[in-house]
């Protein structure tokens, strides 16, 4: 079966012809076309919404587990304190969720562009990458200071996994940002999409390591 016989698979030349045709459409036809495109990509919006809910649920479950640990015989508050804090609140855990959400959003918008050819999704990916890289750099600086200033933190294997994995993910995100500066289709497919997926997979492991540091070893937890 050729790609032309599959209704949802569109090769790049066909996408270019479609975009050129859209430029010649009347305002009413263009409005209808945009509405149809939005209706067709509703599943990606639902996927993004479910992802946000899952992430918020993860934070809530983590808070409940921390409260349970404090009420049990094992208290994580005896772990090492964070060096970089604001009002005795560690900065690194406050900043980390923002680049994670941005990089997950980049993968979602890359998939949406791959399936629809709508250049708006590629623009979303570029902006999400930019914000994720900036916020990730700030989180990395705070985390690196905590890591280097406390020998107890460095003694944990999870801390090394968390630091090295996040560093690799950040470097790949920077490379991905340059890939997303290419023209149209090549800005996402295939290299950009692959890099976005690899970054998210790495973040799954580093998030697990970060969870272990906080809720098992009590790093940065205070009474």
Q: What pLDDT digit, counting tens, does each position of 187-197 carry?
A: 999 999 999 99
Cα 164–50–201 angle (5° rounding)? Answer: 20
HEC per residue, 31-77: HHHHHHHHHHCHHHHHHHHHHHHHHHHHHHHHHHHHHHHHHCCCCHH
What is the structure's pLDDT at 214? 82
What is the structure's pLDDT at 73? 37
Which residues of the chain are under the pLDDT cut of 70?
1-79, 220-223
What is the structure's pLDDT at 38? 52
What is the structure's pLDDT at 207? 92
Q: Where are the domains of the chain?
A: 42-215
Peptide bond into 141 cis (omega under 30): no
Specify which residues 90 forms β-bridges with: 85
What is the structure's pLDDT at 184? 80
- Locate 150 and state its tokens: 């406390």
What is the structure's pLDDT at 72? 40
For the purposes of burial, counting CB atoms within 10 Å of the CB of 109, is it exposed (0-12), middle (13-18) or buried (19 or more)?
Answer: buried
What is the structure's pLDDT at 5? 43
Residue 75 in contact with residue 218, Cβ under 8 Å? Answer: yes
């Amino acid at each position: 079966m050729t790609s032309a016989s599959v209704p949802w698979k569109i090769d790049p030349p066909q996408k270019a012809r479609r975009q050129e045709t859209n430029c010649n459409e009347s305002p009413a036809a263009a409005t209808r076309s945009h509405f149809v495109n939005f209706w067709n990509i509703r599943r990606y919006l639902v996927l993004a919404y479910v992802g946000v809910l899952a992430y918020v649920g993860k934070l809530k479950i983590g808070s409940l587990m921390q409260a349970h640990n404090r009420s049990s015989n094992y208290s994580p508050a005896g772990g090492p304190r964070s060096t970089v804090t604001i009002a005795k609140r560690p900065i690194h855990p406050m900043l980390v969720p923002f680049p994670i959400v941005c990089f997950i959003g980049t993968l979602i918008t890359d998939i949406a562009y791959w399936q629809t050819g709508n250049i708006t999704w590629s623009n979303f990916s570029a902006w999400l990458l930019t914000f994720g890289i900036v916020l990730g750099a700030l989180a990395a600086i705070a985390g690196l200071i905590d890591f280097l200033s406390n020998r107890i933190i460095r003694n944990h294997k999870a801390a090394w996994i968390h630091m090295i994995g996040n560093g690799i993910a950040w470097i790949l995100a920077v490379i991905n940002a340059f890939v997303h500066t290419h023209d149209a289709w090549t800005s996402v497919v295939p290299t950009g999409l692959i890099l976005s997926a690899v970054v998210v997979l790495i973040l799954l492991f580093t998030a697990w390591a970060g969870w272990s540091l906080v809720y098992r070893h009590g790093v940065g937890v205070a009474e």
